[in-house]
Amino acid sequence: MALLPESSSAWRFVRNSLTLARKEWISLLRDGFMLGFVIYSFSLSVYSQATGISHELRNAAIAIVDEDRSALSQRLISSFHGPEFQTPTLIGHAEVDPGMAAARYTFVLDIPPDFQSDALAGRSPTAQLLIDATAMMQAGIGAGTIQGILDDEVGRFVRHEAPAAAAPISLQVRVAYNEALETAWFTGTMSVVGNITMLAVLLAGAALIREREHGTLEHLLVMPVRPAEIMTAKVLANGAVILALTIFSLFAVLRGLLGVPLAGSVPLFLAGTALYLFFATALGIFLGTVARSMPQLGLLFILIVLPMNMLSGGFTPLESEPDWLQLAMQLSPSTHFVAFAQAILFRGAGFDVVWPRFAATAGIGALFFVWSLARFRSHLASLR
């Protein structure tokens, strides 16, 4: 016995929605540019973002002015090596300014005379570090790295030459969830999460505008289908495309090319993503009813979707935002989506941990879906 009799309204709703979804897939396959853009966004774009943006110090150019010419200064020179630094270049004072002006050196360390003797006598010698802060992130990270190298090497040298009392505290650091401190693991994963939002909105909004521009939306109005079936078909079709490309990106790009260890349950993450896509695609359809052309959709996307994506916690911690903005962003499903995506993929959280985020995503998404459907019905009525 069939669960839904073929004559029932529920069966007709499912059948019409699936038929219209098939039409959406055919339309997308015929749109070569949009199809290529979506595939690129979940493949080469993710890989390039993960490997092109690094928060680690890599191959930095450093020069050293050695005025001390002591065993300690030689030890310091030999402590700068790859992969963080290039082989240090020994220069004189006259070469410092021209070298930095020509961007040959990011860092120049000046070791003053009597540096070793002052260190052994406990007089706290001072070395000068000049930094080209054009590349601000590399400059900031490099300054801390060089400070750490100097403290460590000078401390070892002094303890070896003149043993002192043991340090009053010993700090043991253990890194969790990203033991290798690989930036690519974070940026690659968050690139996939961010692209899910952006591409779901763009695909759904572009599909509606494309139908209106081609005149096919008016054809649907004379067919025995309801606005709810049309919108549901667009949500299912575009959501399924994004979900399929998310699976491809997780396994082929993140795990395959970047070697990212996906700590948690991928099916659990995909289930949460499917919940979130009801909101994201509904938002795209809502914007498609407001915009009259693709350029207008692009402007609305910049004004609404980009800030929503940037403030959701995927780029900077939510705690670093003002209190009022943190509270406001709790009303956005994108915030909850980013939170449970990080919890599952990075920290291996189970459903018992992320279910409140799932519930918030489903609840807010359902409310917005109903609001978007009302707007979509009004939009179709204006076309009659």
pLDDT of residue 165: 47
**Is there a contact between 115 and 72 (Cβ–Cβ < 8 Å)?**
yes
User: Where are the chain's structural domains?
Assistant: 16-52+182-383, 62-161
pLDDT of residue 280: 93
Q: How confident is the prediction for the chain on average, in pLDDT?
A: 85
**The pairing of beta strand 107-111 with beta strand 128-131:** antiparallel
**Quick one: three-class SS letters along the chain?**
CCCCCCCCHHHHHHHHHHHHHHHHHHHHHHCHHHHHHHHHHCCHHHHHHHHHCCCCCCCECEEEEECCCCHHHHHHHHCCCCCCECCCEECCHHHHHHHHHCCCCCEEEEECCCHHHHHHCCCCCCCEEEECCCCHHHHHHHHHHHHHHHHHHHHHHHHHHCCCCCCCCCCCCCCCCCCCCCHHHHHHHHHHHHHHHHHHHHHHHHHHHHHHHHCHHHHHHCCCCCHHHHHHHHHHHHHHHHHHHHHHHHHHHHHHHCCCCCCCCHHHHHHHHHHHHHHHHHHHHHHHHHCCCHHHHHHHHHHHHHHHHHCCCCCCCHHHCCHHHHHHHCCCHHHHHHHHHHHHHCCCCCHHHHHHHHHHHHHHHHHHHHHHHHHHHHHHHHHC
Neighbours of 16 (CB within 10 A): 19
Architecture of domain 62-161: 3-Layer(aba) Sandwich (3.40)
Question: Token match 């038929």: residue?
Answer: 19
pLDDT of residue 1: 40
pLDDT of residue 55: 67
Q: What token pair was written down for 335?
A: 């915030």
| Cα separation, 73 vs 64, whole angstroms | 10
Q: What token pair was written down for 199?
A: 């591409």
| Cα separation, 138 vs 134, whole angstroms | 9
Instruction: Give CA angle at 42 (194, 237), nearest 5°.
Output: 85
Tell me the β-bridge partners of 338.
none
| Cα separation, 278 vs 366, whole angstroms | 8
Q: pLDDT under 70 in the chain at which residues?
A: 1-8, 53-55, 135, 161-173, 383-384
